[in-house]
Amino acid sequence: MTKTIEALQSGEISSGHGLNQEIALKRVGDTRWGSQYGTILRLISLFPSVLNVLEYVKEDGNNSEHRGEACHLLNDIVNAMALVKVSKQRLQTIRDDGWSLLLDEVSLFCDKHNITIPKMDDTFVSQGRSRRKAQNISNLHHFQVEIFYQVVDRQLQELNNRFTKVNTELLLCIACLNPRHSFFVFDKKKLIQLAQFYPLEFSSTQLLALDSQLENFILDVHPDDQFSNLNGIGALA
């Protein structure tokens, strides 16, 4: 607690009031990536205090279960799809160019808190296994390939599974039918693309006709008062 107060006084960590309070760890939501990210950020900020608490629980915990745990713990469719796309690009950039920066940040953190940093060129030895039984890989390979790359690849795979290219384009195309603000997001090209996702419903001849029909549609609804105050696709239907 003393270290937390000192950190607050020095400005190393910040505190607010009510919803802005930032000096406590939050429970992580199982599927909320933002919650997990926020918890990690707070853990980094409060690391010395968290370490002190864990050491206290390890020595003076109420039961063996607590002591054992302490030992182990030492706006809308378009915007959403745009954020998914950005997330994929960021993850790919991190995978391609982020290892060196992450290693530097982790090294600084370890130096600050007197945590031993393994030499990257040394042979990696898993806990509980002798060097003779260890795989012949370096610490660098273990941390970069077996951990860093795998974590990023799994995040990318999950995003790709949840938001395939077709699903993403489908949602973006449907959003072009939104009549709000006098059909501000109307996009004829994307609506034709939407029709192309349904080849059994739209033949090649019908797709050619759709181009002209969509031009007629937008010219027809723009000046019509009954379409001026619609708030969604449901209202348009």
By C-alpha distance, which of 46, 43, 59 is closest to 1?
A: 46
Average pLDDT, rounded, for the chain? 76
- Section 210-230 average pLDDT: 85
Indicate if the pLDDT at residue 198 is higher than 60. Answer: yes
- Dist. CA 125–CA 132, nearest whole Å: 9
- With b for 16 or more beta-carbon neighbours within 10 A and e for fewer, the 179-215 pattern comes to beeebebbbeebbbebbeeeeeebeeeeeeebeeebe
In angstroms, how far is the first alpha carbon of the chain from the final one? Answer: 60
**Cβ neighbours around 80 below 10 Å, total:** 15
Tens-place pLDDT, residues 65-97: 666 665 555 447 667 777 888 888 999 999 999
- pLDDT of amino acid 63: 66
Domain positions in the chain? 1-74, 75-163, 176-236
Indicate if the pLDDT at residue 132 is higher than 60. Answer: no
* Bigger pLDDT: 29 vs 174: 174
Indicate if the pLDDT at residue 204 is higher than 90. Answer: no
